[in-house]
């Protein structure tokens, strides 16, 4: 529960409306890489081993509070800022939730990509005794609070852009909105804030002048990675940050040896783990936790979520693999399997080694053993399929009776002909054959040929109906 020997409590400001987003959805719930902006910040806070994480909500408070979770299953604390009277006023609302013995790290819910390592360095700079500010230099610092230093380089103040003089506006070093400060110092400073400024708001940055007046050292921890302090105020900024995030993810994977056909057409919306010699074609999307084994090839335009793909498997273009988070719903594809094109694997699909799933085949909550094949236009749901089964085109498991799901069991080496309906619950014995066009409602014996279809009848001299003339 400590970072650099300090007990850490994190406060996240997430009360703003985000007017420039032009959206009914609160700004902090807009998604970056598949997660809410605020969720990124919460995840980072938890990564600091924070003793508590306090989220300040306001606009759309109930929606925001329901829209984020503690990634470790713990509890988040929420406090509300109503009305919203500035950053200082926001942090004032968190004071009752903060013990006096910790270091408070203040974060913004719309700045999603700050790294835990950076915050750890900031906490170390604080050392339980100083006010530490995360700063960065911008070529164009318009809109940001300027870091004002004395001749010796010590931080003297943060001046908001609207309140800055022309000389101060030439300063390129700016405050990121992130600070670390001992709670025992922060609390009385917050009580002294006023709103005598151009915006009529209570600025959190005014605590700097209180620290200077009190003789508390103020240090600036300067970084150069602008992505870590980039905020989101508009759809344009969100899109720019999304692309920057994806480019960074792509570069990291390529440095590990992954071959991306085009890094600019690639999206990770979760965690992607790749073995050696993985190849990924254009316009693929990975969500949740996806693991790709050695030599896996992913064709163009695939969407894959919460899945493990075994070594040497090939996922042909336009395949959708839609696993769930739980172990039961997560999708598994065995080594050397061939999936697609235009295949769909739904939650609970477990495919063994060298399984073949072809075009327009859907698998849901089913296990297919080694070497099973369903190559065309088929549905297999709530089923256990044995090794080396050949499942014909147009065949389905009728697993739903209108109220409950039932299981189909297909033994090893079974051949299911085209356009068959297997009405569950039903078991097809090992080595058996089901003739094309059959509707099977009863268990079949091992090795048997089973045919269940109406006798063919042809009627001579039959006249096709004619369209009535108007």
Q: Using one digit for the tens of pLDDT, what is the confidence trace for 323-352?
A: 999 999 999 999 999 999 999 999 999 999
CA dihedral 228, 87, 2, 118 (to 10 degrees): 20
Fold of 2-229: Spore Coat Polysaccharide Biosynthesis Protein SpsA; Chain A (3.90.550)
Specify the pLDDT at position 466.
87
Please report how the helices 183-191 and 207-214 are oriented relative to each other, as an axis angle in degrees rounded to 10: 110
> Is 89 in the active site?
no
Asked whether the predicted pLDDT for residue 22 surpasses 90, the reply is yes
Question: What are the tens digits of pLDDT across the range 275-311?
Answer: 999 999 999 999 999 999 999 999 999 999 999 999 9
Query: Among the options 320, 376, 406, 415, which is catalytic?
Result: 376
Query: What is the side-by-side order of every strand in the sheet holding 338-339?
Result: 259-260, 279-280, 297-298, 314-315, 338-339, 356-359, 373-376, 390-391, 415-416, 433-434, 449-450
Tell me if 41 sits within 8 A of 114, measured CB to CB: yes
Query: Which superfamily does CATH assign the domain made up of 257-450 to?
Result: Hexapeptide repeat proteins (2.160.10.10)
Average pLDDT of the residues of the chain? 95
Domain with CATH 2.160.10.10 in the chain: 257-450
Asked whether the predicted pLDDT for residue 1 surpasses 60, the reply is no
Q: Tell me the mean pLDDT in the region 222-240.
A: 95
Specify the pLDDT at position 264.
95
384 burial via Cβ count (<10 Å: 0-12, 13-18, 19+): middle
**Measured distance CA(280)–CA(266) in Å, rounded:** 9
Q: Tell me the mean pLDDT in the region 428-454.
A: 96
Specify the pLDDT at position 434.
97
Specify the pLDDT at position 293.
98
Domain with CATH 3.90.550.10 in the chain: 2-229
Its pTM surpasses 0.75 = yes
């Amino acid at each position: 529960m400590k970072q650099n020997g300090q007990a850490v409590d994190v406060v996240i400001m997430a009360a703003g409306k985000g007017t420039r987003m032009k959206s009914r959805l609160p700004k902090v719930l807009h998604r970056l890489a598949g997660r809410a902006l605020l969720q990124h910040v919460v995840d980072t806070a938890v990564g600091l081993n924070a003793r508590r994480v306090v989220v300040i909500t306001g606009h759309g408070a109930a929606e925001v509070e329901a829209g984020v979770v503690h990634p470790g299953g713990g509890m988040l604390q929420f406090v509300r800022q109503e009305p919203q009277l500035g950053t200082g006023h926001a942090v004032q609302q968190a004071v009752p939730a903060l013990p006096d013995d910790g270091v408070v790290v203040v974060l913004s819910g719309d700045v999603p990509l700050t790294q835990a390592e950076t915050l750890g360095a900031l906490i170390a700079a604080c050392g339980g005794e100083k006010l530490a500010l995360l700063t960065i230099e911008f070529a164009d610092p318009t809109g940001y609070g300027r870091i004002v230093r004395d001749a010796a380089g010590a931080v003297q103040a943060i001046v908001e852009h609207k309140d800055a003089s022309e000389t101060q506006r030439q300063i390129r070093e700016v405050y990121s909105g992130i600070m670390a400060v001992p709670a025992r110092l922060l609390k009385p400073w917050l009580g002294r804030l006023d709103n005598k400024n151009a915006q009529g708001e209570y600025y959190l940055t005014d605590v700097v002048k209180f620290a200077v007046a009190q003789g508390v050292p103020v240090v600036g921890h300067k970084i150069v990675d602008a992505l870590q302090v980039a905020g989101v105020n508009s759809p344009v900024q969100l899109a720019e940050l999304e692309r920057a995030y994806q480019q960074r993810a792509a570069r990291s994977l390529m440095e590990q040896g992954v071959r991306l056909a085009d890094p600019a057409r690639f999206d990770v919306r979760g965690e992607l783990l790749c073995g050696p010699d993985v190849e990924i074609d254009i316009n693929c999307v990975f969500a949740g936790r996806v693991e790709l084994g050695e030599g896996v090839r992913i064709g163009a335009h695939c969407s894959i979520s919460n899945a493990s793909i075994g070594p040497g498997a090939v996922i042909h273009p336009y395949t959708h693999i839609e696993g769930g988070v739980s172990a039961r719903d997560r999708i598994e594809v065995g080594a050397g399997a061939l999936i697609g094109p235009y295949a769909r694997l739904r939650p609970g699909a477990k495919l063994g080694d060298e399984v073949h799933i072809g075009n327009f085949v859907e698998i849901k909550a089913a296990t297919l053993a080694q070497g099973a094949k369903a190559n065309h236009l088929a549905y297999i749901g709530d089923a256990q399929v044995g090794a080396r089964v050949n499942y014909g085109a147009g065949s389905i498991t009728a697993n739903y009776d209108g109220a409950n799901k039932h299981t189909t069991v297909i033994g090893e080496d079974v051949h299911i002909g085209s356009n068959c309906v297997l009405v569950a619950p039903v078991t097809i014995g090992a080595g058996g054959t089901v003739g094309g066009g059959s509707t099977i409602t009863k268990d079949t014996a091992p090795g048997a040929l089973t045919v269940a279809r109406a006798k063919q009848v042809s009627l001579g001299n039959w006249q096709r109906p004619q369209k009535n003339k108007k």
